[in-house]
Amino acid sequence: MYIIIYSSIDHDNLNNLIVHAGEFLMWFNLNFEGESREEIDFRESKCEIWDATCHLAELIIVAYKKMDKNQKDILTKFWWEHTRFETFGTQVVDILTKKPQLKAQMRQLFSM
């Protein structure tokens, strides 16, 4: 049951643990007796979601432990979007710092 609920969580609202009803019901609407394409795709997507959700949950737990006050901020959409996309932004900055030619190319691309 935990896996069904956990892999049905909406990543846009993971910090509030909101479950997508449609994703939750798919577990009960599919017949897992065979190996149809639909079943395989569903299982693979749930494995990806499970891995991503575990990683995102870890981000929330680590951040929460570091908070000494205003812990309710963790429930806001702004906090969640910042936390969720911070890793991506940091990686982009690192790549552009290591390869300045890419930075110049991006400036040209976005100045058009």
The span from the CA of 106 to the CA of 111, in Å, is 8
Q: Other C-beta atoms within 10 Å of 106: how many?
A: 12
- pLDDT tens digits, 74-98: 888 888 888 778 878 888 888 888 9
Q: Other C-beta atoms within 10 Å of 52: how many?
A: 13
What is residue 106's predicted lDDT score, i.e. its pLDDT?
79
- Model-level pTM greater than 0.75? no
What is the torsional sign of CA 98, 99, 105, 109?
negative
Structure tokens at 1: 């049951």
- pLDDT tens digits, 16-57: 777 778 778 877 777 777 778 888 888 888 888 788 878 878
